[in-house]
Amino acid sequence: MKRPRVHRMVLAMCVGSFIVVIFYFQTNLKPVQGNGHTRGLGKSGRSPLQTLYDSDLVEPSAAQLMHQGRRELLEEACRSYTRKRRVLIPEDLKHMIVDDQHGLLYCYVPKVACTNWKRVLMVLTGESGGVRDPLQIPANEAHIPGNLRTLSEYSTSEINHRLRRYLKFLFVREPFERLVSAYRNKFTRSYNTAFHKRYGTKIIRRHRPDPSPEALERGDDVSFSEFVHYLVDPSTQREEPFNEHWERVHSLCHPCLIHYDVVGKYETLAEDSGYVLKLAGVDGEVSFPASGKSTHTTGDMAATFFRDISPTYQKRLYNLYRMDFLLFNYSMPEYLNFR
Ligand SMILES: *[C@@H]1O[C@H](CO)[C@@H](O)[C@H](O)[C@H]1NC(C)=O
């Protein structure tokens, strides 16, 4: 079934070539002073973006220096490891959530606290129905498309304006921890029947020798090893893009085309979230939910899952996620045993 993919590509190319050409200039030299029609101004009258880069001029805090280090590392890695630059099209911006009130653009990455960030943004944009505590918003409500606006819904000039003026941020996580987290959440929980039907049955059909009729029907007992085989099989991505839960951050958020101002990390979620809220001038209004879960995936846990994966497949999987390791300064995990 290659047709739909070809059609989609042709469509994307047409759209890309003669309608939408999005240019925007780097904002980290000198942010433009806010003027009358610029929304996204905090109480101080400055946008989060101005707050970020203006304060760089004074004595930078440890947090500011660290974030500057992350930005520079990302930029350098983009220069070293990506060859062709291309122009952004609205399709690329489907994961970019817009907060026009505060001047924020957040690229959400599933399995990296995105539910909580969406909840916080619902509070900030007034989509929470007056609720001020993010945790009062049910998780499924945070994920309803349409509760929050994405940048892809705006016109080209509106997109360019926001890319230049707003604070752009994302949160990343050690790629294999994120992957194991996605696997555990989508394939080992009995309630996730939609994923079992949609992906599990396909994975079992293709990657399990002699599957039982029941397994083929239910798709609810995919092993991590079968999941890995599915990911590294070239025909998987030829058919359709990866599901967002295991798609690479590089493909979801385009960090070499969009110059993110803050690269938050799951490993330092509380500090980095606090930093963004402070830049937005809303640290007194809303606080980022503290992570309460003790079941979340750790590096040690990821290591145990990788014991079942042969060195050849470890290597293929690493190559698949390589950009996410390089761009965000994650080193190759010690537990891998190919060299
Ligand atoms: C990159 O990672 C190394 C090792 O964890 C760390 O020492 C260094 O500070 C990081 N660099 C940046 C810019 O975050």
Q: pLDDT tens digits, residue range 7-66?
A: 665 555 544 444 455 656 544 443 333 333 444 555 567 889 988 887 656 677 899 999
> Do 43 and 158 sit in the same domain of this protein?
yes
- What is the structure's pLDDT at 9? 58
Q: What is the dihedral sign for C-alpha 293, 218, 306, 331?
A: negative
The mean pLDDT of 91-103, rounded to a whole number, is: 96
Q: Which of 56-70, 117-131, 220-234, 265-279 has the lowest mean pLDDT?
A: 56-70
> Do 45 and 154 sit in the same domain of this protein?
yes
- What is the structure's pLDDT at 241? 95
Q: Tell me: the pLDDT tens digits for 266-303?
A: 999 999 999 999 999 999 999 999 876 667 888 889 99
- Output the residue whose Cα is nearest ligand 1's atom 10: 329
> Do 180 and 155 sit in the same domain of this protein?
no
> Do 241 and 111 sit in the same domain of this protein?
no
- What is the structure's pLDDT at 58? 67
Residue 152: CB within 6 Å of ligand 1? no
- What is the structure's pLDDT at 197? 95
The answer to the question of residue 315 being in a domain is yes
- Output the residue whose Cα is nearest ligand 1's atom 2: 329
> Do 98 and 181 sit in the same domain of this protein?
no
The answer to the question of residue 43 being in a domain is yes
> Do 9 and 157 sit in the same domain of this protein?
yes
- Output the residue whose Cα is nearest ligand 1's atom 6: 329
> Do 208 and 97 sit in the same domain of this protein?
no
The length of the chain is: 339
Q: What percentage of residues in the chain have a pLDDT greater than 70? A: 85
Which atom of ligand 1 approaches the CA of 329 most closely?
A: 1
User: CB–CB of 122/137 below 8 Å?
Assistant: yes
User: CB–CB of 148/121 below 8 Å?
Assistant: yes
The answer to the question of residue 168 being in a domain is yes
pTM above 0.75, yes or no: yes
> Do 227 and 125 sit in the same domain of this protein?
no
The answer to the question of residue 334 being in a domain is no
Pick the more confident residue, 261 or 139.
261
Any residues with CB less than 8 A from the CB of 314 and at least 6 apart, and which?
A: 306, 336, 337, 338
pLDDT at 218 over 80: yes
The answer to the question of residue 287 being in a domain is no
Distance CA 199, CA 223 (A): 12
pLDDT at 105 over 90: yes
Q: Tell me: the pLDDT tens digits for 64-92?
A: 999 999 999 999 999 999 887 788 999 99
Domain of residue 301 covers 176-245+296-327
Distance CA 11, CA 84 (A): 21
> Do 68 and 192 sit in the same domain of this protein?
no
- What is the structure's pLDDT at 18? 44
> Do 185 and 55 sit in the same domain of this protein?
no
> Do 77 and 166 sit in the same domain of this protein?
yes
The answer to the question of residue 336 being in a domain is no
The answer to the question of residue 274 being in a domain is yes
Q: How many domains does the chain have?
A: 2
> Do 7 and 153 sit in the same domain of this protein?
yes
The answer to the question of residue 291 being in a domain is no
- What is the structure's pLDDT at 5? 58
CA 178–ligand 1 middle distance (angstroms): 19
Tell how far CA 114 is from the center of its chain. 8
